[in-house]
């Protein structure tokens, strides 16, 4: 096609002008071959040694950036999820703490009630036993006084009567009197 073009050109244009521009021998096939050869070789060499690796590294970068964006998105989602999780955990922990405190308070109250009841019972029991003891002691004291009184009465009576009476009979007599006197009182 180029030959056609150039022949067309040389037919139409001034031949002397073209001869000056071109090689005097007309179509310079050598230059055409040289140009095509050099350009093709240059392109193949550059593709092998320069453009290929450069395109590779640019693709690699694009890939890397895409990956990074994806990873960032992923980690954003992850952190969001973790945050939600943490929030839920915190809420749960707070509820737990609240319930523990409530339980403790309730337990303390119960315990207090129990202690108070126990103390009250103890006091009552002690009071009762003290009352009982006092009554017993009183009985004892009354019996002792009574005995003493009997003895004194016998002594006094024997002195007054001056008569020897058997102590056994007297005693029975006096005790009877005292019991009567006690009952009448």
Question: Using CB under 8 A as the criterion, which residues of the chain lie in contact with another protein when the complex forms?
Answer: 1-2, 4-6, 8-9, 20-23, 25, 27-36, 38-39, 41-43, 45-47, 49-51, 53-58, 60-61, 64
Please, which residue, 4 or 166, has the CB nearer to another protein?
Answer: 4
Closest contact distance (angstroms) between CB of 57 and another protein is 5
20/163 with CB nearer another protein: 20
Map tokens 């006084």 to a residue: 145
d(CA 36, CA 32): 6
Instruction: For another protein, give the closer residue by CB, 10 or 158.
Output: 10
- Min CB(14)–another protein separation in Å: 14
Cα 161 from Cα 176, distance rounded (Å): 19
Q: What is the 3-state secondary structure (H, E, C) of 37-91?
A: HHHHHHHHHHHHHHHHHHHHHHHHHHHHHHHHHHHHHHHHHHHHHHHHHHHHHHH
């Amino acid at each position: 096609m180029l030959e056609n073009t150039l022949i067309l050109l040389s037919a139409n244009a001034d031949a002397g002008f073209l001869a000056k521009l071109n090689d005097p021998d007309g179509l310079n096939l050598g230059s055409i071959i040289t140009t095509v050869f050099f350009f093709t070789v240059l392109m193949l060499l550059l593709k092998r040694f320069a453009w290929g690796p450069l395109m590779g590294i640019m693709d690699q970068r694009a890939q890397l950036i895409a990956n990074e964006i994806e990873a960032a998105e992923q980690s954003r989602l992850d952190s969001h999820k973790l945050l939600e999780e943490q929030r839920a955990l915190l809420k749960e922990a707070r509820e737990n703490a609240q319930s523990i405190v409530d339980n403790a308070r309730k337990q303390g109250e119960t315990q207090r009630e129990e202690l108070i009841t126990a103390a009250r019972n103890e006091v009552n029991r002690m009071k009762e036993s003290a009352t009982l003891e006092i009554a017993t002691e009183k009985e004892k004291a009354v019996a002792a006084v009574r005995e003493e009184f009997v003895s004194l009465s016998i002594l006094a009576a024997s002195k007054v009567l001056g008569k020897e009476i058997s102590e056994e009979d007297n005693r029975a007599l006096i005790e009877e009197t005292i019991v009567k006197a006690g009952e009448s009182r």
